[in-house]
Amino acid sequence: MHCPFCRHPDSRVVDSRTTDDGTSIRRRRQCPDCGRRFTTVETASLMVIKRSGVTEPFSRNKVIAGVRKACQGRPVTEDALAQLGQRVEEAVRATGSAELSTHDVGLAILGPLQDLDLVAYLRFASVYRAFDSLEDFEAAIVELREQLPPTNLRGLDEDLGVPAPVPATD
């Protein structure tokens, strides 16, 4: 690490601490030449490989922007979107991989989005999974009904304009 004051090519680490969110390390350094101290912040790089083959750094803001589109008109707060972005970033970093495909990032988004809002989940899944027919939506709704308890689905049917299934009577 070059000293920002005298450009000496080396420095000594005096103190290291993780940041509050745990995603980076803050280091206090001292230049052996001029003796001045400075701070650096280190983060692990995480690259996303797009479909075109181009790689770019992972961006929590891009995740939030994409999910925000799926949540338009839904009762989802900015705080909830920020928490979802953090959950997704934690999930993709937990893989331990330095490079992920956009497919992997999309998979990491689907789980937290399903917990956040089922209609937004279906909107996002329709693009991510490339739904191209009404049957694809119906299959996704059936899959949700099988996965979740009926109390969690109550709002989904009303929001989508789908009649709720009639409970069986014996």
**Which of 23, 159, 158 lies closest to 89 in space, CA to CA?**
23
Report d(CA 167, CA 140) in Å as an integer. Answer: 20
Share of the chain above pLDDT 70, in %: 88
Which residues are CB-neighbours of 111 under 8 A, at least 6 positions away?
91
Phi, psi of 148, deg, nearest 5: -105, 150
pLDDT tens digit sequence for 64-81: 999 999 999 999 999 999
- Quickly tell me which residue has 């949700």 as its tokens: 144
Question: For position 129, what pLDDT does the model report?
Answer: 84
Q: pLDDT digit string (tens) for 102-133?
A: 999 998 999 999 999 999 999 999 988 888 99
CA distances 111 to 48, 82, 91, 119, 144, Å, are 19, 15, 10, 13, 12
**Kind and range of the H or E element at 51?**
none
